[in-house]
Amino acid sequence: MMSAFSLTDRHALVTGANTGIGQAIAIALARAGAAITCVGRRSCAETVDTITAAGGQAKEVLVDFSDPMAGVDLFKGAEIDILVNNAGIIRRADAVDFTEADWDDVMNVNAKAVFFTSQAFAREVFARGGRGKIVNIASLLSFQGGIRVPSYTTSKHGVAGMTKLLANEWTKSGINVNAIAPGYIATNNTEALRDDPERSSEILGRIPAGRWGRPEDIAETAVFFAAPASDYVSGAVLNVDGGWLAR
């Protein structure tokens, strides 16, 4: 009997798969049996090598989502079943000093690219009469305001809303759309916070789990959303945060 968490014979495309959360998700999906297309602005060779060394299937495609339409041709003829929209960037500055360039850069990658990449994926799935899963990476700042990250907060609120909108439209046609909202995870995006002793101490003091999250903490949740186990789940935004939002 096949496990409800098996991804055998499935093909997943993971954006931002070169490092951090995206890398961990790609590896976890491969471990569950999926073939992986690793997409990144920088080389995903390390991720591909890790997957293939363990006996999995993986390849890389270089795409820079600073052009939010850069992903629209990724799915043509590829028969991708699972899309993980993980690629994202952050800019930090006081709201009173925040620049238009920093606003646009973040919104293009974190929101506009997510929508149009998802649209391209859906068109291909519908054209072949298939089924699919979309897993978006949201944030705790899909629920909260944050500090000194105005465009990031706005984009991640947008990802949460977009997830629900697309679920409303596409679930009946065979594509489940869900999102994971990571808490404070030890990645490049949180390096500035972890390097600030006062801010890091404040954050750790509020997390019931008592530690920064690891990319692997997010990866297994992505497997659930990609697998048959979640076939009746759509439009969910699940916080994986060590209990942060419960405080």
Q: Indicate which residues carry an active-site annotation.
A: 152
Gap between the Cα atoms of 157 and 205, Å rounded: 25
The H or E element containing residue 144 is none
And the tokens for 227? 């697998």
Alpha helix (H) ranges present in the chain? 20-31, 45-53, 100-107, 113-127, 150-170, 191-194, 197-206, 215-226
Is residue 163 within 8 A of residue 221, CB to CB? The reply is no
Provide the residue type at 247 as one letter: R
CA 14 to chain centre: 8
| Nearest residue to 180 via CA among 116, 145, 135 | 135
| Nearest residue to 71 via CA among 134, 117, 121 | 117
**Helix (H/G/I), strand (E/B), else coil: 11:** strand
